Amino acid sequence: MEATNPTSKAGDWRNYKRVLLPPVKDLHQLEVYEDNGGYKALRDVLSGDKWDPQSVTAEVKKSNLRGRGGACFPTGLKWTFMPPVDPDVPRFLCCNGDESEPGTFKDRQLMEYNPHLLFEGILIANYAMTIKTCYLYVRGEYAQWIEQMEAELEKLYKKGYVGENIMGTGFSTDIVIHKGAGAYICGEETSLMESLEGKRAYPRIKPPFPAQKGIWGYPTTINNVETLACVPLIINNGADWYSGIGAEKHPGPVLYGISGHVNKPGVYEYPSGMLITDLIYEVAGGMRGGKKLKAVVPGGSSVPIMKADMIDGVTMDVDTIREAGSMMGTAGMLVMDEDTDMVSFLRRITHFYHHESCGQCTPCREGTGWLENLVTRIDRGEGNLRDLDLLIDLCDQMEGRTVCALADAAAWPVRWTVTRFREEFEAKCKPAVFPTGDGATEAAVPAT
Amino acid sequence: MAADITKELSPLPDRTPEPAFSADELVWTAAEQEQMEVYKKRYPTNDGAIMRGLWLAQDKYGWLPPEVIRLVAETLEVPYAQVYGVATFYTQYFKERKGKYVLDVCTCFSCQVCGGYDMLHHLEEKLEIHVGETTEDGLFTLQEAECLGACGSAPMLQITNGSYLHNLTTKKLDTLIDGLREGKRVPFVSVTLPQDADDLDGNRRSDVKATDTYHAPPVAKTVK
């Protein structure tokens, strides 16, 4: 096997030591987590003179941690958006564990195998922003993981890591696990807040941003599960250690969720900046049955699809992958082999977005339905060539014209799958019919 | 010509369905009442507890007919319309009566390209129902689900908003259905991480017996 490709930004990833999901038996239990240095970061932050809320935020900012929920927004910067502390105004943290983006399944493994790292991250974030309550929003489908986490959380309350006067330091904060009930839209931060407030989860118009007016109108910060799990690591090891992992502009460990036609699918922890080819052929054991690679969706269903010839030398960090014509998203990567029917594949994606559109904005509510109907028609062999242009036109009319980004997320896969695999769509359309001049019409084979 | 307003109107259709639960059944036990109080305390207003309240009600009654939704609303002292709105927004709240076991087969994205539809169609044939229907004995409801967040172990399904069943094969489905008919519950299955294969004998939890590893997915025969 050749040495690591020089364009990889993950360094010596073969000898990488995992930190988010370290190989420790029963790490999900409080006692084991404590024995392995758990809650040390929290203790350091709360007691002693080294840390105050400002310095914790500054350290996270310095580490260049970027959100792992898909948008890759710098976390430390987000924390500074919170208004100055006013003792009369409650403030909230929301941890987004809704994880419904198709192709994404990393947070579930983190919540099962290392929930205390998440809890510790939440507590430190609460301290850094002087927050009294964190709502951990977990999708309702993860019922069994919610039960397990609630049991562990109860232990935390008993041991005094959460609640009033934590570890005798005078700092008090609560964690509440909120169980969703099956709606993709709740992963959008403003609709997550609506859902928490016990309403139909219709996204809100921004501004005002959550930091100004969040849940129940109070200042709120919303972070992804994996993002908050990185915080104790930064406190324990320092911002420089963290920013030294992986790609310079998008550092840190990343949970890569690889699924689809590979020999060893699953969640893998490696530094950011891994080559996509390394992830497919080395980490995930190559293509199933030795088939040829056809396409990769690198970060969940809404990011632009990449053809096999586009992934050479592309690394998993926000800038490189954007230059290559896609997005980092959630690093939930779907790999497809040469036998995949792209039209049917897209039909199912459009069905998903049609089903999950909340119905608040017309371009999305109607547009997602139109996308599904058109792609289904093409998939059945009843489509016309002009439907392809109509699809792109629809995408133009949906993107950026709604309250939240679901319409964009629904339009991107259509736009890019149709553009990048156009010949497959054309092949499934009805042959174009041209007039011949003598009154009859003549069928022509679509151009390939 | 003016409309004949003296003509007797046809009677309005009876829009109030027969309630599924009687007034005697629509009461909380002391333990449930206590649980509701716990939920209420977690939020600044009672609205926040609506979703948990509906979950509690669904666990108790199996589904959420209007009178159960009203019970939740009255317990939490929030308008019925708001609770009804929430109940109808989220797919996991059952607004109609379902079978004892609701089989949510994921066919979305990764599961589609890894054979989710093969599994769905196999179940359709085995249970002799179409997707969305309930078997005559009231035991199984078959549904097509959107991404359930277990893409690495595709194809997969979820049983009545609870256990996940990973890496499905038609054989596994047959065993599942036969087992459920005999009342065998499906345990929680922990899916181990591929990176743990060398370090922890493939299982990092000693409190869970049922484990599964990620497999190379099957070849999908049908994709729709």
Q: Which residues of A touch B155 (CB under 8 A)?
A: none
CB A369 within 8 A of CB A293: no
Which residues in chain A have their CB less than 8 angstroms from residue B55's CB? 140, 179, 181
Terminal-to-terminal C-alpha distance of chain A: 38
CB contact under 8 A, B149 and A142: yes
Residues of chain B above pLDDT 70, percent: 96
Start-end ranges of CATH 1.10.10.1590 in chain B?
A: 22-89
Considering only CB atoms, B195 lies closest to which of A108, A269, A345, namely A269
**Tens of pLDDT, residues A394-421:** 999 999 999 999 999 999 999 999 999 9
- Window 156-175 of B: residues touching A by CB (8 A cutoff) are 158, 161-164
Contact A197 B47 (CB under 8 A): yes
- The letter for the amino acid at B210 is A
Tokens of B60: 């108790």
Could you tell me the pTM of the whole model?
A: 0.94
pLDDT digits (tens, 9 = 90+) for B42-63: 999 999 999 999 999 999 999 9
B202 touches chain A (CB under 8 A): no
Across B44-82, b (16+ Cβ under 10 Å) vs e yields: eebbbbbbbbbbbbbeebbebbebbbebbbebbebeeeb
pLDDT of residue A445: 54
Q: Which of these ranges, A112-121, A439-448, B189-198, B215-224, has the smallest mean pLDDT?
A: A439-448
pLDDT band at A183 (very low <50, low <70, confident <90, very high): very high
Residue type (1 letter), A149: M
Residue A215 pLDDT? 96
Contact between B214 and A266 using a beta-carbon 8 Å cutoff: yes
Q: What is the CATH T-level fold of the domain B22-89, as seen in this structure?
A: Arc Repressor Mutant, subunit A (1.10.10)
pLDDT tens, position by position, A7-37: 899 999 999 999 999 999 999 999 999 999 9
pLDDT at B8: 75
| Residue B131, number of CB atoms within 10 A of its CB | 16
Provide, rounded to the nearest whole percent, the portion of chain A with pLDDT above 70: 96
Q: How far apart are CA B88 and CA A247, in angstroms?
A: 44
Residues of A in contact with B154 (CB under 8 A): 259-260, 265
Residue that is written with structure tokens 């609870």 in the block: B162
Residue A286: closest CA among A328, A258, A321: A258
Q: Look at residue A309 and tell me whether its pLDDT is greater than 80.
A: yes
Span(s) in chain B for CATH 3.40.30.10: 101-213
Best to test chain A binding among B36, B38, B106, B110 (most A CBs inside 10 Å) = B110
Q: Do B113 and A26 touch (CB under 8 A)?
A: no
Chain A contact present for B108, CB below 8 A: yes
Q: Is the pLDDT of residue B12 over 80?
A: no
Q: Is B114 part of the contact surface with chain A (CB cutoff 8 Å)?
A: yes
Phi, then psi, of B82 in degrees rounded to 5:
-70, -45
Is the model more confident about B10 or about A159?
A159
- Alpha-carbon distance A314 to B211, whole Å? 35
| pLDDT at residue A2 in the model | 43
> Tens digit of pLDDT for each residue in A330-356?
999 999 999 999 999 999 999 999 999
What is the model's pLDDT at position B209?
86
Give the mean model confidence (pLDDT) for residues B83-103: 96
Residue A390 dihedral angles phi and psi, to the nearest 5°: -65, -40
Instruction: Please answer yes or no on whether B85 and A200 come within 8 Å at the CB atom.
Output: yes
Fold of the A342-427 domain: de novo design (two linked rop proteins) (1.20.1440)
Angle subtended at Cα A115 by Cα B47 and Cα A35, rounded to the nearest 5 degrees:
140
Q: In what order do the strands lie in the sheet with A332-337?
A: A266-271, A253-260, A332-337, A293-297, A306-307
Alpha carbon of B189 to those of A237, A271, B158, B160, B164: distances in Å?
A: 34, 28, 11, 15, 7
B75 touches chain A (CB under 8 A): no
Q: Are A25 and B149 a contacting pair at CB < 8 A?
A: no
From the candidate CATH numbers 3.30.1330.10, 3.40.50.11540, 3.20.20.140, 3.40.50.150, the one assigned to the domain spanning A10-243: 3.40.50.11540
Length of chain B: 224
Q: Which of A19, A99, A105 to mutate to test the interface with B (most CBs of B within 10 A)?
A: A105
The domain ranges of chain A are 10-243, 249-335, 342-427
Q: Token pair of B83, please?
A: 């609770």
Read off the pLDDT of each residue in B5-20 and give the average, rounded to a whole number.
74
- Supply the pLDDT for residue A1: 41
DSSP A180-243: --S-GGGGSHHHHHHHHTTS--PPPPSSSPTTTS-GGGS-EEEEEHHHHHHHHHHHHH-HHHHH
Question: Taking 80 as the threshold, does the pLDDT of residue A442 lie above it?
Answer: no
Kindly tell me if the per-residue pLDDT of A4 is higher than 90.
Answer: no
d(CA A281, CA A131): 44
Q: Is B217 on the interface with A (CB under 8 A)?
A: yes
Which residues of B fall within a CB distance of 8 Å from A358?
A: 89
Output the CA–CA distances (angstroms, integers) from residue A121 to A125, A288, B123, in the order listed. Answer: 6, 38, 43
For the domain with range B101-213, which CATH number is right: 3.30.360.10, 3.40.50.740, 1.10.10.10, 3.40.30.10?
Answer: 3.40.30.10
Residue A61 Cα, gap to closest chain B Cα (Å): 30
pLDDT tens, residue by residue, B153-185: 999 999 999 999 999 999 999 999 999 999 999
Nearest residue in A to B223, CA atom: A344
Give me the CATH code for the A249-335 domain, please.
Answer: 3.10.20.600
* Closest Cβ opposite residue B216 in set A103, A201, A263: A263
Q: Give the mean model confidence (pLDDT) for residues B117-137.
A: 97
User: Average model confidence (pLDDT) for chain B?
Assistant: 93
Distance from CA of B20 to the nearest CA of A (A): 23
DSSP state of A264: S
Q: Which residue in A has a C-alpha nearest to residue B144's C-alpha?
A: A352
For B189, the closest chain A residue by CA position comes to A144
| B189 in reach of chain A (CB within 8 A) | no
**Residue B145 token pair:** 């689900």
pLDDT averaged over chain A? 94
Q: Are A251 and A319 in contact (CB under 8 A)?
A: no
B159, with CB counted inside 10 A (0-12, 13-18, 19+), is middle
Mean pLDDT on A323-330: 95
Task: Name residues whose C-beta falls within 8 Å of residue A295's C-beta, 6 or more positions apart in sequence.
Answer: A305, A306, A307, A308, A336, A340, A342, A420, A421
The answer to whether the Cβ–Cβ distance between B205 and A101 falls below 8 Å is no
- Given the structure tokens 């911002």, which residue do they identify? A239
Is it true that the peptide bond before B65 is cis, omega within 30 degrees of 0? no
- Which residue of B50, B154, B199 is in closest CB contact with A198? B50
Model confidence band, residue B1 (pLDDT cutoffs 50, 70, 90): low
The yes-or-no verdict on residue B81 having pLDDT over 90 is yes
